[in-house]
Chain A
Amino acid sequence: MIQKHNVIEVENLSKLFGDFAAVNQISFQVKAGEIFGFLGANGAGKTTAMKMLIGISSPTSGKATVAGFDVYREAESIKKNIGYMSQKFALYDDLTVKENITFFGGIYGLSKKQIEQKRCELVEELGLQEVTNSLVASLPLGWKQKLAFSVSLLHEPKIVFLDEPTGGVDPITRRQFWELIYKAAHNGTTIFVTTHYMDEAEYCDRVSIMVNGKIEALDTPKKLKEQYKTNTMNDVFLKLARG
């Protein structure tokens, strides 16, 4: 069911700010349906790299395609084919759940009927029946997070980019959130996720670890642990980050 072709291909991609290389010649591929963990300490260049892939920042040099589109020339096509959720779970607090869904469905060009249908599914799945007409501001953080994720999937993107999606939520909620991620991946959506929770790295199919703008390691969590002779991803990360 899952096609094994690459949906993200990156080759020697760099981003310079003056003399400083925020992203320094990184290369990697992500396969369709994969959960790809993009790890790194704060300031390692994760966010900059991700911004180039989602088409809101243009690279200094190197090649990259996302969903088959070139990041230099076809940013607009990329935007139609990806979903994005930021670490702020950005929804409109002063709009109701229903209005948020309608709005975001609308800007992705979904028809009224599609939005209606998607909304019913989504509300059903997340158990939000009681609060569809409440303002998002009144929802607990965990619900906002799940809603934001589901909203980023409204237009059935091929790839969804998650920028530290679990910041500030409790472990149980994080766990539930990862169940949603698995479900989406199971349906064929590719997941590209940045995180600095190392236990979450264990949930990914493959992870890359960025240090100072470069990708220092890239493999399955299991192989990385073998390679660095440790029991946890946390230790792998510490070994790498400390050089």
Chain B
Amino acid sequence: MKRFVGFVRKEFYHIFRDKRSLFILFGMPIAQILLFGFAITNEINNVDIAILDQANDVNSREIIQKISASKHFSIVDIIQQESSIKSIFKKGNVKAVLQFENNFSSNLIKEKQANVQILTDATDPNMANTISNYITSILKNYQQELNQTVSIDYQIVPQSRMVYNAELKSVYMFVPGVMTVILMLVSAMMTSISITREKEQGTMEILLVSPLKPFQVIVGKVFPYIFLSIINAVVIVLLSIFIFNVPVKGSLFLLGVESVLFIITSLALGILISTISATQQTAMMISLMGLMLPTILLSGFIFPISSMPLPLQVISNIIPAKWFIIIVKGIMLKGVGFGFILKETLILFAMTLVFMGFSVKKYNIRLE
């Protein structure tokens, strides 16, 4: 036990004396969560839009007024023909065009129904979706105001159409994703680097010749990272609760336990990587290319798995991050209990055992 404490103390010296690893450990999580938080925000401000007002009557002008009064939009162009819509989108700065049909007011009064078309530039699908929702809610507001003054039900029917990308399924929640990526990065990459560093320096050999058993060496190396990863997970959850108001609907305790499981999975992966790489650089490349990219691209963090081609959907199953993201989303956003994430938990657990088994095997071969 005393040996173990001495070993862990040494590990902490390594970590706290290396500014780069300190930055990756504590700078990255905060930077990432803030970046993702502010960059992928659902708030929109001062978005440039254009108006095609074919009606040019009382109601259409009132609506335009309301829109230009909101801080979310600024009307930069009034166009006259439908044909100019395309060219205005192509220029790129205008993200949406609002088109009022002919006889907007009279339709509203006679038919009790009038149409507005919201055209959005959906090269950025999330943005398009958000703009469309905002405009729709402004229209709804206006409609309510009208209905308060008159007893008849007027209906303004917004028809939104996403240009360039008709299907909008990627509603992504960044917190579970960022948390997964960070824990993976810290646990797998940092441990594999720190173990291979000992190999490179030749100190691993000294440790193996010492009375310490190989598994004691590995546990000693890995232990500080479990501790630091837990701190990271806590920081990420706190930031998302207090800065971004992401709710944690389920049990914090369950979230904690599942996070520790995922940390151990990642550490096992890190150990596996360190057994197959001789240098820190190799370990880092394998971690980045072999872990980070699939974790970001194939886990459902950014791109929904359901819209991937089938082979990729199959591959995504072997990415531990996929299962952890499901777990975190379940607990944080849906508030599910353990019963609902049992399958995912078991999968992660099994993966951990497999990675550990491989590492032990590799490690023994190397010792031969």
Chain A residues close to B by CB (< 8 Å): 54-58, 76, 79-80, 82, 84-95, 99, 102-104, 106-109, 161
A55 to B205, CA, bound (A): 11
Closest B residue to A105 by beta carbon equals: B6
Chain A residues with Cβ under 8 A from B3's Cβ?
106-107, 109
A88 to B9, CA, bound (A): 23
Closest A residue to B207 by beta carbon equals: A107
Whether B13 pairs with A90 at a CB distance below 8 angstroms is no
- 8 Å CB contacts to A: which residues of B170-189? none
Whether B211 pairs with A108 at a CB distance below 8 angstroms is yes
A92-B211 contact given A57-B367, A84-B206, CB 8 Å threshold:
no
A103 to B217, CA, bound (A): 13
A148 to B211, CA, bound (A): 17
A108 to B3, CA, bound (A): 8
Whether B10 pairs with A103 at a CB distance below 8 angstroms is yes
**Other-chain residue from B9, B17, B203, B211 in contact with A90 (beta carbon distance below 8 A):** B203
A87 to B205, CA, bound (A): 11
A151 to B160, CA, bound (A): 75
A109 to B2, CA, bound (A): 8
Whether B367 pairs with A95 at a CB distance below 8 angstroms is no
Closest 5 CB pairs of A and B: A88-B202, A106-B6, A90-B202, A84-B209, A90-B203
Whether B6 pairs with A90 at a CB distance below 8 angstroms is no
Q: Which of B6, B17, B211, B213 has the most CB of A within 10 A?
A: B211
Whether A56 pairs with B205 at a CB distance below 8 angstroms is yes
Closest B residue to A55 by beta carbon equals: B209
25 A-B interface contacts by CB (under 8 A): A55-B209, A56-B208, A57-B367, A57-B368, A76-B213, A79-B209, A82-B209, A84-B206, A86-B205, A89-B202, A90-B205, A92-B13, A92-B14, A92-B201, A94-B14, A95-B10, A95-B13, A99-B10, A102-B6, A103-B9, A106-B3, A107-B207, A107-B211, A108-B210, A109-B211
Please name 10 further chain A to chain B contacts, defined as beta carbons within 8 Å, in addition to the given A84-B206, A106-B3, A108-B211, sorted by A numbering.
A56-B209, A56-B367, A76-B211, A79-B211, A87-B202, A90-B205, A90-B206, A102-B6, A106-B7, A107-B211
Whether B201 pairs with A90 at a CB distance below 8 angstroms is yes
Chain B residues with Cβ under 8 A from A85's Cβ?
206
Count CB-based A-B contacts (< 8 Å). 72
Chain A residues with Cβ under 8 A from B208's Cβ?
56
Q: Shortest distance in angstroms between B85's beta carbon and chain A's nearest beta carbon?
A: 62
Closest B residue to A91 by beta carbon equals: B203
Q: Shortest distance in angstroms between A102's beta carbon and chain B's nearest beta carbon?
A: 7
Size of the B side of the interface (Cβ < 8 Å), in residues, is 24
A54 to B211, CA, bound (A): 11
A182 to B210, CA, bound (A): 24
Chain B residues with Cβ under 8 A from A82's Cβ?
209
Chain A residues with Cβ under 8 A from B297's Cβ?
none
Closest A residue to B203 by beta carbon equals: A90
Whether B10 pairs with A92 at a CB distance below 8 angstroms is yes
- 8 Å CB contacts to A: which residues of B207-256? 207-213
A58-B210 contact given A93-B201, A103-B10, CB 8 Å threshold:
no
Q: Shortest distance in angstroms between B28's beta carbon and chain A's nearest beta carbon?
A: 21
Closest A residue to B213 by beta carbon equals: A76
Closest A residue to B209 by beta carbon equals: A84
Does any Cβ of A come within 8 Å of B111's Cβ?
no
A106 to B18, CA, bound (A): 23
Closest A residue to B206 by beta carbon equals: A90
Whether B6 pairs with A107 at a CB distance below 8 angstroms is yes
Chain B residues with Cβ under 8 A from A91's Cβ?
203
Chain B residues with Cβ under 8 A from A95's Cβ?
10, 13-14
Q: Shortest distance in angstroms between B346's beta carbon and chain A's nearest beta carbon?
A: 37
**Other-chain residue from B6, B209, B367 in contact with A103 (beta carbon distance below 8 A):** B6
A17 to B152, CA, bound (A): 93
Q: Which of A79, A80, A82, A94 has the most CB of B within 10 A?
A: A94
Whether B2 pairs with A106 at a CB distance below 8 angstroms is yes
A95 to B197, CA, bound (A): 14
Whether B206 pairs with A94 at a CB distance below 8 angstroms is no
Q: Shortest distance in angstroms between A156's beta carbon and chain B's nearest beta carbon?
A: 14
Chain A residues with Cβ under 8 A from B9's Cβ?
103
Closest B residue to A95 by beta carbon equals: B13
A43 to B202, CA, bound (A): 19
Whether B209 pairs with A80 at a CB distance below 8 angstroms is no
Whether B368 pairs with A79 at a CB distance below 8 angstroms is no
Q: Which of B13, B202, B213 has the most CB of A within 10 A?
A: B202
Chain A residues with Cβ under 8 A from B209's Cβ?
54-56, 79, 82, 84, 161
**Other-chain residue from A80, A89, A102 in contact with B211 (beta carbon distance below 8 A):** A80
Closest B residue to A135 by beta carbon equals: B17
A55 to B18, CA, bound (A): 33
A147 to B13, CA, bound (A): 20
Closest A residue to B17 by beta carbon equals: A94
A95 to B6, CA, bound (A): 13
A147 to B367, CA, bound (A): 27
How does the 8 Å CB contact mask read for B352-368 relative to A, with 1 for contact and 0 for none? 00000000000000011
Closest A residue to B7 by beta carbon equals: A107
Chain A residues with Cβ under 8 A from B18's Cβ?
94
Q: Shortest distance in angstroms between B331's beta carbon and chain A's nearest beta carbon?
A: 39
Closest B residue to A88 by beta carbon equals: B202
Whether A92 pairs with B205 at a CB distance below 8 angstroms is no
Whether B210 pairs with A107 at a CB distance below 8 angstroms is yes
Chain A residues with Cβ under 8 A from B368's Cβ?
57-58
Chain B residues with Cβ under 8 A from A107's Cβ?
3, 6-7, 207, 210-212
A88-B201 contact given A57-B367, A95-B13, A107-B6, CB 8 Å threshold:
yes
